[in-house]
A and B are shown apart, each in its own frame.
Chain A
């Protein structure tokens, strides 16, 4: 039975939800608030308001998925924790499985090795 589309890891929400976007951004390195919003804007095209960003940061910190790093100035950088990496990996896996299903049905080229080997001819495109 296919996994539900909204079960991306431990309650991180859908692919454009702030907690997931923040984890994706921090996966490439420690960032403070402004750097997070800029990076998320670049890779996801989503602009997070200050309230939304810090609300999500607070939730992620409560759950131990990110942590604050020591800082001398008022810009507080955050980094992803081991638990955060695991949660993000699980969410990405779910999203990939979903996108593979969509791509298969559309006859698009599948990037996932698992699906390419079992179902769709190599290089098949629309």
Chain B
């Protein structure tokens, strides 16, 4: 009986240990402060510091001294990179509380700008990402410079394009068009096309890629999606032609059928005997994807 009681007690304490303890805000702050002290102490083991960093965000902006300690860890190249990355994550988590972080924001942004040329590529890329999401002019200028002069690039071109795409006003369209014409890599071309998917002047580029059977299926699908956003009527025209083309790839035909099913002008499509006949034929042939898309199309317009 006593053993049973003991076992019950131990399982209760185990549950208590497993479940997150309900702490009052004051207790949370106290433990965050103590975590921050551990996190910023160079004498503590790395693992312990990284673990403490995850508990520190509440205390990061509580006092100016705490913030400066954390920023020092972040910018100190002598610190282990794992600790620096954890410090960045902790600061980023703290910054999500916009009101509470108000007093720390200026120093935080200034420190991040110091780190855009840090030798560690992961830290550099993360910092660039944070600043790019803030539409930071400093970072946009650096990224554009890197795309124009690859020797100055802070990140690979596909990553730079991805970061520049966060801000539609970042003046990256001309360089993205250039990259589509002369891509340094297929990834860069893909990201350039993604960036251009909000540029109405790029409609002819997307039309050309969508109809080019030599292009990668991923890029053709991306072009279809961009046309859907920029000129839905153009997508409908091309989708019809693609469906009618007996030598077209299955993936692209399936995408085109889906586009016509969801976006097609009902009167126009139902009156298009040639198209309906072709889709009827597709229903019984080819790949599963095409068959499924054809069936959905005919459920809406035919039969």
Q: Do A and B come from one complex?
A: no
